[in-house]
Amino acid sequence: MSFIKHSRSEYIETITISRPDKLNALSPELLQELTDVFRSLLEQPERPRCAILTGEGKAFVAGADIAAMANLLPAEARRFAELGHRLGSMFEEAPFPIIAAVNGFALGGGCELALACDFIFAADSAKFGQPEVKLGVIPGFGGTQRLARRVGVAKARELVFTGEVIAAAEALRLGLVNAVFPGAELMAQSEATAKKICAMGPLAVAAAKRVLLRGEDQSLPAANELEATAFSALFSSEDQREGMKAFIEKRSATFKGS
């Protein structure tokens, strides 16, 4: 049984988690399939220039599959957590941006998946939270770390310790999400932003993503060195020559990713 739907429109890959009868809860099988689908995108000669991750039905992902987790032994729980961590790292390391289009509940593992994306757009009805402490555990797919980096340590502590679920408007105020739209407009707005990204130089976007990720935990001088190295390396690309030539000639650039 397949839990993942995906399709390509020009340079945009849309990935939909499809287990609506379980609010797209993350079972080990679903996580493995999502990992396999995403790995296949990275291995394609023609990779997307942007991806959109969303959920089918009322939820983005309402959390991990509790029934599947309830009787795990510690070693099995560790393997489950590692599967989620590998997927989050793949999202972060991908050479193209990933937009989380959060259409409903993004709780527990669902919030963690969204946090691993480059940024988050939310429907006005969306809900976010890390309620794992209510189950006697903690976030296991990187939530404690990425949430703190997104909203600050103090607020992350409050959200994780209390298990509070917050509305999209509050998530926007905290900086957890980038924008909130009426539900009917969420995908159109996500696709419009993805198209803007796809019109940019793909090598430049990939370099910017890499430097932002690598520089986050570096000192400012070290991070600036990463930036200078990436900036100068792009001057060996055809895209750089095309982009600057197009600017001088007052026309739109046609980037090839080379």
Q: Is the dihedral of CA 214, 220, 225, 229 positive or negative?
A: positive
Catalytically active residues, by annotation: 112, 132
Q: Coil, strand or helix: which one is 62?
A: coil
| Plot region of 250 (φ>0 → left; ψ -120 to 50 → alpha; else → beta) | left
Locate tokens 């729980």: which residue? 77
Rounded to whole angstroms, the Cα distance separating 258 from 249 reads 20
Rounded to whole angstroms, the Cα distance separating 101 from 121 reads 5
Three-state SS for 114-146 is HHHCCEEEEECCCEEECCHHHHCCCCCCCHHHH
